[in-house]
Amino acid sequence: MVSEKSSKDYLKCLEKKEKEWEKLCIRCGGCCGAYDDPCLHLKKRKNNKFYCEIYFDRLGSRKSKEGEEFNCVSVKEILNTYWKKDYLCVYKKLSKKGWQK
């Protein structure tokens, strides 16, 4: 039987890995349509970095600025697809290198 302590340790480990994953992103905005038809929730900072104003609730049905409906998914689910300027994406770069840093 799995102890409560080991379950908590496992959850902490998953949270740590998720934070490490999130820190890799350079906020280029490409996966959210920054260079063609951006999501309505994608915003640009003065430093030319992008952010999602509803990031933690982003997944699911959304609309682009031109009115196209789409399903927002984790970047992990679209790494094998193409989007405009996807060469900027750190996750794509790392996936091509086998995730070696």
Q: How high is the pLDDT of residue 18?
A: 87
Confidence at residue 11, expressed as pLDDT on a 0 to 100 scale: 92
What is the pLDDT at residue 4? 77
Residue-level pLDDT at 99: 65
pLDDT at 65: 97
Q: What is residue 45's predicted lDDT score, i.e. its pLDDT?
A: 95
Map the chain to HEC letters: CCCHHHHHHHHHHHHHHHHHHHHHCCCCCHHHCCCCCCECCEEECCCCCEEECCHHHCCEEEEECCCCEEEECCHHHCCCCCCCCHHHCHHHHHHHCCCCC
| 6: amino acid identity, one letter | S
pLDDT at residue 77, rounded to an integer: 92
The closest alpha carbon to 89, from 17, 18, 27, belongs to 27
Collect the ranges in the chain with pLDDT lower than 70: 1-2, 99-101
> In the chain, what is the greatest distance between 2 CA atoms, to the nearest angstrom?
53
